[in-house]
Amino acid sequence: MAESDLRPLEGVAVAVVGAGIAGLTAARKLAKAGAIVQVFEKSRGIGGRLATRRTEGGPIDHGAQYFTAREPAFKAWVARAKLEGAAASWAPRGKDGEDDWLVGMPGMSGLVTALVDGYKVANEKRVTAIAEADGAMTLTFEDGTTIAGFQRVVVAVPAPQAATLVAPFGAPFERIGEAVMAPCWTLMLALDAPFDPGFDVVRDQGALQWIARASSKPGRQGDTLVAQASTAWSREHLEDAAESVTADLLAMLAAAVGPLPARRYEAVHRWRYALVEKAVGETFLLSSDGRIGVCGDWLVAPRVESAWASGDSLADAMVARTLQAAGA
């Protein structure tokens, strides 16, 4: 096999926008194919909705709570993550369904750390525009700076943000508008004293769609709770102040589990684009010349596995398109 078949993107400059599991999965695969990959992420950390808040009362996962692995390729990847200590099984009291529940280690965001391999991530770099000129693409950032010279771009951000960034590239990206994403207000508590409501997880308690003793996950310290408001409640209260949402969610939680002990840490997080309500129904979208593509859970389903599969397949398609163009 020729060297160019093993590393078909050798020396090709690639920008990946978004350091969630979809973007980092694509980045790793493209780097393995020889590309010079740079990931740009608007926030200070990586993982996106695989998010862990470090608090004085222990770590709290405030985005995805757990994930499952159904397809062979993702199962194999998870098996490796488990061996490397980046994932573990979680069997909470109240678990439903037959699937093995999995969590990142030592927090959900830990799941993606092993994906940062062969490329760099630039944090606090929000991409505001992507433009093409003279056969290469230029990224513009929130602070007005630009970086030019990318031969491929992967956009791995939630649908509404992706739509804005790839609008100049026309079809097939018009389909992004088909995705609908739902918000989720999430309450995080670290308690002063041990607290056992008699379950580790429970769904659908009034306007709370999920309550978890977050500290029942493997390797977590402290006594921590997470409560997620339903989509309907989160939509209705989307623009409410954090203080009033905290008071509302605390009252709903106390109604479900009884009086709460004193708190060492108490905060809410508003996920504006939390869960996919309607997916596009494709694994990824790629321009006809194969040079710019989008990936993410919102193309497939509201699951970590779907985001991974979307990033993985987009990278494969970009490599295949390059091989085709080279006449391999």
Ligand X SMILES: Cc1cc2nc3c(=O)[nH]c(=O)nc-3n(C[C@H](O)[C@H](O)[C@H](O)COP(=O)(O)OP(=O)(O)OC[C@H]3O[C@@H](n4cnc5c(N)ncnc54)[C@H](O)[C@@H]3O)c2cc1C
The token pair at 13 is 């400059």
Q: Site for ligand X (CB under 6 A): how many residues?
A: 37
**Side chain identity, residue 152:** R
The piece of 36-44, 82-90, 196-204, 258-266 that touches ligand X (CB under 6 A) is 36-44
37 binds ligand X (CB under 6 A): no
Taking alpha carbons only, the member of 154, 172, 142, 145 closest to residue 282 is 172
The piece of 6-14, 152-160, 197-205, 280-288 that touches ligand X (CB under 6 A) is 152-160
List the one residue from 121, 188, 214, 275 that touches ligand X (CB under 6 A). Answer: 275
Nearer to ligand X, 41 or 312 (CB): 41
Query: Is the separation of the CB atoms in 155 and 257 below 8 Å?
Result: no
- Closest separation between CB of residue 261 and ligand X, Å? 24
104 binds ligand X (CB under 6 A): no
Nearer to ligand X, 148 or 328 (CB): 148
Nearer to ligand X, 8 or 228 (CB): 228
214 binds ligand X (CB under 6 A): no
- Closest separation between CB of residue 203 and ligand X, Å? 11
Contact track, ligand X, 278-317, x by CB under 6 A: ------------------xx----xxx--x----------
237 binds ligand X (CB under 6 A): no
Nearer to ligand X, 8 or 64 (CB): 64
- Closest separation between CB of residue 255 and ligand X, Å? 21
Span 217-236, contacts to ligand X by CB under 6 A = 228
| Whole-angstrom distance, CA of residue 214 vs CA of residue 227 | 10
SS (H, E, C) the chain: CCHHHHCCCCCCEEEEECCEHHHHHHHHHHHHCCCEEEEECCCCCCECCCCEEEECCEEEECCCCCECCCCHHHHHHHHHHHHCCCEEECCCCCCCCCCCCEEECCCHHHHHHHHCCCCEEECCCCEEEEEEECCEEEEEECCCCEEEEECEEEECCCHHHHHHHHHHHCCCHHHHHHCEEEEEEEEEEEECCCCCCCCCEEEEECCEEEEEEHHHCCCCCCCEEEEEECHHHHHHCCCCCHHHHHHHHHHHHHHHHCCCCCEEEEEEEEEEEEEEEECCCCCCEECCCCCEEECCHHHCCCCHHHHHHHHHHHHHHHHHHHHHHCCC
List the one residue from 43, 113, 138, 140 that touches ligand X (CB under 6 A). Answer: 43
143 CB contacts (<8 Å, ≥6 apart)?
Answer: none
The piece of 27-35, 130-138, 197-205, 268-276 that touches ligand X (CB under 6 A) is 268-276
Nearer to ligand X, 8 or 23 (CB): 23
Q: State the distance between the two ends of the chain, measured CA to CA, in whole angstroms.
A: 11
- Closest separation between CB of residue 143 and ligand X, Å? 12
63 binds ligand X (CB under 6 A): yes
Nearer to ligand X, 127 or 318 (CB): 127
List the one residue from 16, 29, 40, 309 that touches ligand X (CB under 6 A). Answer: 40
Q: What is the number of other CB atoms lying within 10 angstroms of the CB of residue 265?
A: 18
List the one residue from 7, 126, 175, 264 that touches ligand X (CB under 6 A). Answer: 126
- Closest separation between CB of residue 220 and ligand X, Å? 16
The site for ligand X (CB under 6 A) is made up of: 17-23, 40-43, 48-50, 63-67, 126-127, 156-158, 161, 184, 186, 228, 271, 274-275, 296-297, 302-304, 307
